[in-house]
Amino acid sequence: MSARKSSEASACSSSEVSVKEFLAKAKEDFLKKWENPAQNNAGLEDFERKKTLGTGSFGRVMLVKHKATEQYYAMKILDKQKDNSNLYMVMEYVPGGEMFSHLRRIGRFSEPHARFYAAQIVLTFEYLHSLDLIYRDLKPENLLIDHQGYIQVTDFGFAKRVKGRTWTLCGTPEYLAPEIILSKGYNKAVDWWALGVLIYEMAAGYPPFFADQPIQIYEKIVSGKVRFPSHFSSDLKDLLRNLLQVDLTKRFGNLKNGVSDIKTHKWFATTDWIAIYQRKVEAPFIPKFRGSGDTSNFDDYEEEDIRVSITEKCAKEFCEF
Q: Is 104 left (phi over 0), alpha (psi -120 to 50) or beta?
A: alpha
Residues paired with 144 in a beta bridge? 98, 152
Q: List, by residue number, the catalytic residues.
A: 137
Looking at the chain, the whole-number percentage of residues with pLDDT higher than 70 is 88
**Those residues with Cβ within 8 angstroms of residue 98's Cβ, 6 or more apart along the chain or in another chain:** 54, 140, 141, 142, 143, 144, 145, 298
Mean pLDDT of the chain: 90
Measuring CA to CA, which residue among 127, 114, 103, 107 is closest to residue 239? 114
Per-residue confidence band for 7, with pLDDT thresholds at 50, 70 and 90? very low
Query: Where are the chain's structural domains?
Result: 39-95+290-320, 98-278
Q: Tens of pLDDT along 248-284? A: 999 999 999 999 999 999 999 999 999 999 999 999 9
76 is in an annotated binding site: yes
Q: Does pLDDT of 318 surpass 70?
A: no
Judge contact between 49 and 62, C-beta under 8 A.
Answer: yes
The pLDDT of residue 306: 77
Per-residue confidence band for 13, with pLDDT thresholds at 50, 70 and 90? low
3-state secondary structure the chain: CCHHHHHHHHHHHHHHHHHHHHHHHHHHHHHHHHHCCCCCCCCHHHEEEEEEEEEECCEEEEEEEECCCCCEEEEEEECCCCCCCCEEEEEECCCCCEHHHHHHHHCCCCHHHHHHHHHHHHHHHHHHHHCCEECCCCCHHHEEECCCCCEEECCCCCCEECCCCECCCCCCHHHCCHHHHCCCCECCHHHHHHHHHHHHHHHHCCCCCCCCCHHHHHHHHHHCCCCCCCCCCHHHHHHHHHHCCCCCCCCCCCCCCCCHHHHCCHHHCCCCHHHHHCCCCCCCCCCCCCCCCCCCCCCCCCCCCCCCCCCCCCCCCCCCC
CA torsion angle 245 249 252 257 (round to 10): -170
Which CATH number is 98-278's, of 3.40.50.300, 1.10.510.10, 1.10.150.390, 1.10.760.10? Answer: 1.10.510.10
For 263, half-sphere exposure in the C-beta direction (CA atoms, 13 angstrom radius) is 19
Measured CA to CA, the distance from residue 26 to residue 47 in angstroms comes to: 32
Judge contact between 87 and 101, C-beta under 8 A.
Answer: no
Residues paired with 160 in a beta bridge? 134
Looking at the chain, the whole-number percentage of residues with pLDDT higher than 90 is 76
What CATH number is given for 39-95+290-320 in this structure?
3.30.200.20
Q: Tens of pLDDT along 165-185? A: 999 999 999 999 999 999 989
Measuring CA to CA, which residue among 176, 168, 140, 141 is closest to residue 56? 141
Measured CA to CA, the distance from residue 122 to residue 208 in angstroms comes to: 19
pTM, 2 dp: 0.89
For the chain, what is the radius of gyration of the CA atoms?
21
